[in-house]
């Protein structure tokens, strides 16, 4: 089979579109988190390469500012990122000694990861696909 070249951005978009399709079907939220998480990461790195802020950086900045206002002390940005990526990383990684059971609201985590990936796509392209528009209208407006 011949080796072909692929644009990373195109593959990330395929991941995001597949994640949106799975989410719309109402099942396999674990795959939604993993696929949307991959797209979020790729689009986010493209934004950073263009000198723009991605959705995770904006989230870290906002949460850090809120934490400082409420508690009068800073919180490490890494703690914020670790929480934001907890489900994605729990599904992708396991080391001996880690718990075999994970607990989180998988549907909500998939919504959060899809939202971040779509935000990053929008910041890159200033456009949405029909599946992204449907998600934004039906899920985020609910």
- Tens of pLDDT, residue by residue, the chain (142 residues): 899 999 999 999 999 999 999 999 998 999 999 999 999 999 999 999 999 999 999 999 999 999 999 999 999 989 999 899 888 988 888 777 777 888 899 999 999 999 999 999 999 999 999 999 999 999 877 6
pLDDT tens-digit readout, 71-101: 999 999 899 998 998 889 888 887 777 778 8
Number of domains in the chain: 1
Confirm whether 111 is domain-assigned: yes
Confirm whether 52 is domain-assigned: yes
d(CA 117, CA 40): 4
The pTM score is 0.90
Confirm whether 1 is domain-assigned: no
Confirm whether 103 is domain-assigned: yes
Confirm whether 78 is domain-assigned: yes
Q: Is 23 in contact with 29 (CB distance < 8 Å)? A: yes
Q: Give the chain's count of helices (H) and strands (E).
A: 7, 0
Confirm whether 51 is domain-assigned: yes
Domain boundaries, position 56: 8-138
Using CB atoms within 10 Å of the CB of residue 139, give its burial: 0 to 12 exposed, 13 to 18 middle, 19+ buried.
Answer: middle
Confirm whether 112 is domain-assigned: yes
Confirm whether 2 is domain-assigned: no
CB-based contacts of 60: which residues, under 8 Å, 6+ apart? 77, 80, 81, 84
């Amino acid at each position: 089979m011949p080796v072909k070249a692929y644009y990373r951005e195109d593959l990330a978009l395929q991941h995001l579109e597949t994640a949106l399709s799975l989410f719309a079907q109402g099942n396999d939220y674990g795959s939604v988190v993993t696929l949307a998480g991959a797209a979020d990461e790729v689009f986010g790195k493209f934004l950073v390469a263009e000198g723009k802020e991605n959705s995770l950086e904006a989230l870290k900045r906002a949460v850090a500012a809120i934490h400082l206002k409420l508690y009068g002390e800073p919180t490490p940005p890494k703690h914020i990122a670790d929480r934001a990526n907890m489900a994605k990383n729990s599904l992708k990684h396991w080391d001996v000694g880690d718990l075999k059971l994970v607990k989180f609201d998988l549907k909500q985590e998939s919504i959060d990861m899809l939202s971040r990936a779509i935000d990053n796509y929008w910041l890159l392209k200033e456009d949405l696909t029909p599946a992204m528009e449907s998600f934004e209208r039906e899920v985020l407006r609910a």
